[in-house]
Amino acid sequence: MKNFLIGLIVLGCTIFTSCTTDDSISLDSNFSSLESRSLENSGIWYITEYSKNGTNLLQNFSLYQIQFNANKMVTVSTANSVINGTWNNLIDNNKNKLVLMFPSNSSLEELSEDWEILVSNSTQIDLKHVSGSKSKIDILKFGRTPNKSIDQGGNPLSTIPINGQWLVSRYLDKDRDRTSYYAGFSFDFKSTGVLTATKGSTVVNGSWKKYNDSGKTKLDIIFPDIQRMAELNEDWEVLNQTSNSILLKNVSGGNGGISYLDFKK
């Protein structure tokens, strides 16, 4: 009996020790104060700052649109491509971290790191990664709008012409995805200010105007109430424009809801 009791004590100590071992990295399942938990289905984010050991590399990533999904998948898209990766929250040595993983053959591979979360709220995420015996520091920041007021050639957005045929690649009406409303329509921004939407034999004529308003480049779109075109009638802020993409945003004056409209060639 004595030997049996001793055996139980040893076994209990072994179990207690194994259960209380503190791993240096653990999945964030109980840390309720981690604000980045709200990333799940939080809408569109943009990379507003990215530097590696002091070198600014934002120009390579400023047009990416990032969505953090509830299934721990992250979708990164531009007008021409979509890259899928994963994200997760970790606690590493008492530091809150956001772990990003992207395919090794993609343009986002270098963002695959365990980033320390410096700031995380509904409009801003600031991350830091230290490597090389703490001698190299990378900074990655996300925001709600691209950090660009000029095109990739350094020209003011308000002076860039809109030429040729465009397609609607995204229309989010206050987080309601209504891109399908305009599937198959081609939009022609004519130099005369006429805007024509064409789909087969259906032609809807409207108007457009591009101008500066309080330091922001705006694109006014006006259509008659045909084929749901009137839903696009807003004074859209131009977030970014290149030769093959136009990114637009509108903030509702009533409840502050935000809509996004993107065109691509």
Cβ neighbours, 10 Å, residue 43 = 15
> 15-29, 35-49, 225-239 — which one is most confidently predicted on average?
225-239
More confident residue, 184 or 107: 184
What's the pLDDT at 158? 56
Six token digits for residue 56: 């600014």
pLDDT at 35 over 80: no
CATH class as words, domain 157-264: mainly beta
pTM: 0.48
- The tokens describing 254, both together, are 């009533």
How far apart are alpha carbons 74 and 22 in whole angstroms? 29
Question: CB-based burial of residue 14 (10 Å sphere; 0-12 exposed, 13-18 middle, 19+ buried)?
Answer: exposed
Tell which wins on pLDDT, 107 or 56: 107
Mean pLDDT across 212-240: 90
At 186-220, the pLDDT tens digits run 999 998 889 999 999 999 999 998 888 777 888 99
Q: How far is CA 113 from CA 71, 120, 250, in A?
A: 19, 17, 33
Give me the DSSP letters along 122-148: SSEEEEEEEETTTTEEEEEEEESS-S-
Which of the pair, 127 or 53, is modelled with greater confidence? 127
Contacts of 163 (CB under 8 A, 6+ apart): 189
CA distance 217 to 237: 6
Distances (CA, A) of 61 to 20, 46, 50, 77, 191: 43, 8, 8, 11, 31
**What are the two backbone dihedrals, phi and then psi, of residue 62, each rounded to the nearest 5 degrees?**
-70, -20
CATH topology of domain 25-143: Lipocalin (2.40.128)
Range(s) for CATH 2.40.128.270 in the chain? 25-143, 157-264
The 10s digit of each residue's pLDDT in 21-34 is: 333 333 343 333 34
Q: Given pLDDT bands bounded at 50, 70 and 90, which one contains residue 8? A: very low
Question: Across residues 61-88, what is the average pLDDT?
Answer: 88
Highest averaged pLDDT of the listed ranges 54-58, 85-89, 154-158: 85-89
* pLDDT of residue 89 exceeding 80: yes
Cβ atoms < 10 Å from Cβ of 247? 27
User: Are 90 and 28 contacting, i.e. CB atoms less than 8 angstroms apart?
Assistant: yes
What gap in Å lies between CA 116 and CA 127, rounded to an integer?
Answer: 5
pLDDT at residue 3 is higher than 90: no
